[in-house]
Structure 1
Amino acid sequence: MSAALITAALATAVLPERPQVDLTALAAERLARLRAELAAAPCDAIVLTESESVLYATGYRSMPGQVFRAHRIAAVVTADDLWLVCAASDAPAAAAAGIPVDRIVPFGRFYVEAGTGEADHAAITRMADRHPDLETAVREVVARLRPGTRVAHENETGVASAARSVKLPGEVRLLGYAARLSESAVTAALAVAGPGTTERELAAVIAATMVAGGGDPRFVVATTGPNSALADVVPTSRAWQPGETARFDVGCVVDGYWSDIGRTAVLGEPDDRQRRVYAAVHAGEQAQLDAARPGISATALFRLGLEGTAAGVPSYRRQHCGHGIGLAVYEPPIIAPGVDVALRPGMTFCFETPYYELGWGGMMVEDTVVITEDGHTMLCAGSRELTVVPA
């Protein structure tokens, strides 16, 4: 039945218009911003080892880095030079992505052959076994830097986090598209859902719609009935029944940029408690949206989300009410107690105030915004109301 649902959903799905973003130009802009932060730091070179920071600096998106938890990669950035330190298996793809071969320093063993006529191809065939591990390869790069160069790791300085926290216009466009694509995917699933539709079928439609729009599905939480109280779970074969809640928490990646949105639906007319709880969840997020602007702290937004929801659900508790988002699904600052970081124009956030009650169900609404000079702009575009699916 999933194949039929997917076919029906994709035939009628309305996908958002994908923005035209020059990824090569965007990578150059990101590197320039990183170097501007480096110029103000007490170091001359920075070693990046978070895969998202490496992507930010180099523009190279490693497929093994997305698949293998233990995959390692690094970049060394100076005011006028950039080196990629990667597994030998990454080297051919990195070169194809535009990283100069003489600035790729490989480690480990991976064999690839070359045709004739391309000097770079021949150089890549000699990249196996040059260094045993990432640390040795990084040390080689550092040894090549000018004498007296002050080198720091990204965890020792705020250079990378400062550069990544304020998004460039191209980054905002990609984040907005990823968010709207995820919204469209949930809408497509609900359009073909009804009594007996399983969680796996809902998730299959969501993932297929993301793929149709050029996104890479990353997490698809599609839960129904009592399962909707389980925060982050794999969809099951459970069938959606009339009167039950369905909670969606989904995200995809578009050109490296993440989405993370939440929506709630009821199969048939909601009862009084479902309406009341969703109204509280919605009010909590709305309180955050009403206050989101430069200068307000993450802690203050957390308090507004918590108090706004608790006004309708007095027992409401929550450890955070949102987070930054970008090349990683969770980026600082987190909207949480004790995070006294002031919002700045260009920062992007997901605001959320979900409620989970074991044995009853869960509800949420989660949206992505960008902070502007005088407030914020929603990057999501769909309805934030409780969706009613005909039973």
Structure 2
Amino acid sequence: MSFLNRFSAAKGYKQSRPMVATFILTGGLVILILCIAFSILYGSADIKVSTIWQSLVQFDTLQTSHQIIRNLRIPRALAATLIGAALAVSGSIMQGMTRNPLASPSIMGVTAGATFMMAVSFALMPGASNVIVMIWAFLGAGLGAGIVFGVGSLSKSGLTPVKLALAGTAVTALLSSISSAIAIHFNIAKDLSFWYAGGVASVQWIHVQLLAPIVVVGLIVGLALSSSITVLNLGEDLARGLGQKTLLVKIIGTLVVLLLTGAAVSIAGTIGFIGLVIPHITRFLVGTDYRWIIPCSAILGGILLVGADTVSRMVNPPFETPVGTITALVGVPFFLYLARREGRAKQ
């Protein structure tokens, strides 16, 4: 008998809903494909569906519409899918390991740390390759998370969800301020402004090629850890009693989070709240089994970011609204609701 069955009756455990999860994986995949198709179809240039099909099967380098579809819209839609999945899975893993409903890459300082180190890389190594920028983003993601957990651990009453959120907010503000100072001093404000706004407007195929293998590896490792995260989400004492190597799970899970978030930020900049909202929606729909939460979060995260990117082009055409603004409109009220509910639970 697996250890998942042994704790199925534990207090607070919510049985998984495999039928709902299967529907999300299949139906959600269809919706995601439709969102990608609409994202490719919609833009400042009016392009017909037949033209899109021709660009796929009979690509003509002399036609501007074919160039727009193949070199701009398709990589943009694919990157939005991968980045949305990466951020959603990162948030799921963080919330599962820390048992913190407010945990997410943007709130826990991971995103701000990655952006900060990218500012440092732009200042010290102008013209650095995409790979170098991505490595700096990985290092920054680890730096931001380390500072947040270090500051939060100074509290005498321990790392409560609200205190971690407050520490993350403070560290995010600090790192963002330092990043702005670096941008002004080294005259790289224009280079960094895109990452502050967040978006996939300038994504090219090289970015997709760098991002795809990292996201795939991160998702595979996350799925391999999913059973252990499910146990860990019930508490470390219970997890140890069931023979789990909690420290190893946390180390590998943290590396996956840093890998996925660092890659996403290095390509799209600061896009907040996907890692906060999607895991909660997924748990509400499929239960608390992370074998279902992680893949379903990836699908729903991709749908949300592709949809938000499409909406960002429709708000004020022909200009584009930063996609981070669209996700914040959804995420901020949700965050306030969670913070209020958590505060009531502690009273």
Answer 1 or 2: which has greater helix percent: 2
Same fold (TM over 0.5): no
Please tell me whether Structure 1 or Structure 2 has the larger radius of gyration of its CA atoms. 1
Larger relative contact order (CA 8 Å, sep ≥ 6): 2
Answer 1 or 2: which has greater strand percent: 1
> Normalising to structure 2: TM-score of the pair?
0.26
> Normalising to structure 1: TM-score of the pair?
0.24
